[in-house]
Amino acid sequence: MTETASDTVPEYAILGCGSVGHVAADRLHEQGDDLIIFDKDPSRVEALRDQDMNAVERDITDPEVAEMVSGTPVALVLTSTVEDNEEALRNLKDENPDQYVVVRANDPVSHEELEEAGADYVINPPEVIAESALRALESGEMEHRVDRLVGVIEECESLAVVVYRSFEPDEIASANALCSIADALGVDSEAFYCGSQRYQRNEAFANLLELDVNDCDDDALDGYDGVAVIDSADEYADFGFDADIVIDHNQTDEAVESAYADVGSNVGSTSTVLTKYLQEIDVDTPTDVYTGLLHGIRSETSYFRRNTTPADLTAAAYLFPFADEDLLEDLESPSMSADEFEVLADAVANRGIHGSFLVSNVGFINSPDALSWSAETLLNLEGVSTTVVFGISDEVIQVVGVSKDARVDLADAFDEAFEDESESVGHADEARVSVPLGIFGTVSDEENDREVLLELAEETVKTKLLDAMNVEEDE
């Protein structure tokens, strides 16, 4: 047959047009890409030409084929015969070492051999099929999961969405998103907070989202048909009320028995879980919901530096085009108060480093909010993977810790260190605890007495923490 190669240099060259090559050729042709195809089967070549494709009848192992496509930026070698593919690959790289060559393998052994022969990218059809099947399974599972969630919500006339104990951006954004979903489904919803860690900075975040968060008093939930809990599934047995929905990205050893539970999703934030729901549910979503979720993901993963999964990155990429840039700027660049600046300065000045563990006593503070800011900032110090900052406020020692070390579980460490005084709030990578001063809280305001109190607090907190985390205190 007569060769029909064009005079122009095509963008792609396909060597071998069996089942895999034909799919690739069809996709590229549909996209309007310029390509040239080589195959030794005359009937295939004729069929390709009938589809108005530039096809040439040639054995792909012929060195002249490599010469003909030497100027083509990308070559795909896709026959089912690994030996032919490897020979064609070597010809192509001999002719043009800079050409990007994708080669088909049939198994892990040939995959490795083709990589060693110089392939820029190797595809293994069984692996591709398996990955595609797993993606389809994941998509189907998510669709089924969301259908169940929608069903539980629609059974209610009203829904209380409870942020339990930890009042951080990830939880607040997730509660806001779940309220938005419920409202879009025609179910009245309100947000509540059950806990004592309601700090000003996070209150401001809720206010910017225009989310009213009510205190969860003893009978606050009585008038609602359904109750959803965001995060803290590990406290399931201690809720003190029946939860119809429990959503928490963190793993838990607790048995969660609710009408709908999505716990331990192997992602870095609960905001990522809610983003997946929004992708499946066909409802109108306000811009502030997208913006809040994006900030929730960034905050919970410490801007993708801590416990980040591909799903978090994918969710953030999905949310970004819908986010309000001005609102996002307000959320992520809040002004630093004088109190926060002074606490940060004290945290830097009073830091003590024990291996990769940093602990700092900032003394008496007006606002516990500043502790989280300082702990996050100090985590950027070279060689530091865990920070704990504490200070005294209203006769309570407020302790905040953050970590990017997968071996550290701060919640467990805080519980062990202060099991007789208080219970921690948080998870492995971020936790806080409020330790009552007890009889020491009655000391006078005299300077000497305050200094003694600080020394006692520092000695107690440092000793207990270092012991719980198996860190030796420097002499």
Architecture (CATH level 2) of domain 338-468: Roll (3.10)
Q: Is the pLDDT of residue 116 over 70?
A: yes
Q: What is the per-residue pLDDT across 352-374, written as a single tens digit (0 to 9) for each?
A: 999 899 999 999 888 777 888 89
Average pLDDT (383-407) is 89
Average pLDDT (376-398) is 90
163-172, 204-213, 239-248, 440-449: least confident range: 440-449
Q: pTM for the full model?
A: 0.67
Average pLDDT (413-423) is 83
Q: Is the pLDDT of residue 61 over 90?
A: yes
The pLDDT value recorded for residue 446 is 57
Q: By C-alpha distance, which of 205, 215, 227, 190 is closest to 288?
A: 205
181-195, 225-239, 403-417: least confident range: 225-239
Q: Is the pLDDT of residue 211 over 90?
A: yes
How many Å apart are CA 418 and CA 172, to the nearest integer? 27
The pLDDT value recorded for residue 475 is 46
Q: How far is CA 172 from the centre of its chain?
A: 16
**What one-letter code names the amino acid at 81?**
T
Q: What percent of the chain has pLDDT over 90?
A: 55
Topology of domain 142-332 in CATH is inorganic pyrophosphatase (n-terminal core) (3.90.1640)
- DSSP codes joined into one string, 281-339: S-----HHHHHHHHHHHHHHTTTTTSS--HHHHHHHHHHGGGS-HHHHHHHHSPPPPHH
Q: What is the per-residue pLDDT across 181-203, written as a single tens digit (0 to 9) for each?
A: 999 999 999 999 987 666 777 88
The DSSP element (H or E) to which 208 belongs, if any, is helix 200-208
Q: By C-alpha distance, which of 409, 402, 352, 344 is closest to 370?
A: 344
The pLDDT value recorded for residue 242 is 87
List of residues 6+ apart from 361 with CB closer than 8 A: 350, 390, 391, 454, 457, 458, 461, 462
How many Å apart are CA 153 and CA 165, to the nearest integer? 23
The pLDDT value recorded for residue 98 is 94
Q: Where in the chain is the domain with CATH 3.10.310.30?
A: 338-468
Helix, strand, coil content of the chain in percent (nearest 5): 45, 20, 35
- Write down the mean pLDDT value for the chain: 88
118-122, 324-328, 376-380, 451-455: least confident range: 451-455
The pLDDT value recorded for residue 473 is 67
The pLDDT value recorded for residue 1 is 43
Q: What confidence category does residue 126 fall into, taking pLDDT thresholds of 50, 70 and 90?
A: confident
Q: Where in the chain is the domain with CATH 3.40.50.720?
A: 12-123
Q: By C-alpha distance, which of 232, 262, 253, 256 is closest to 242?
A: 256
Q: Where in the chain is the domain with CATH 3.90.1640.10?
A: 142-332
How many Å apart are CA 320 and CA 339, to the nearest integer? 32
How many Å apart are CA 16 and CA 37, to the nearest integer? 7
SS3 label, residue 193:
strand
Q: What confidence category does residue 439 fall into, taking pLDDT thresholds of 50, 70 and 90?
A: very low
The pLDDT value recorded for residue 88 is 96
Q: What is the DSSP letter of 106?
A: S
Higher pLDDT, 197 or 226: 226
Q: What is the per-residue pLDDT across 160-171, written as a single tens digit (0 to 9) for each?
A: 999 987 888 999
Q: Are strands 351-354 and 357-364 parallel, antiparallel or unpaired?
A: antiparallel
Domain 12-123 has CATH 3.40.50.720: yes
Q: Is the pLDDT of residue 143 over 70?
A: yes
Q: Is the pLDDT of residue 237 over 70?
A: no
Tell me which residue has tokens 């600046």: 341
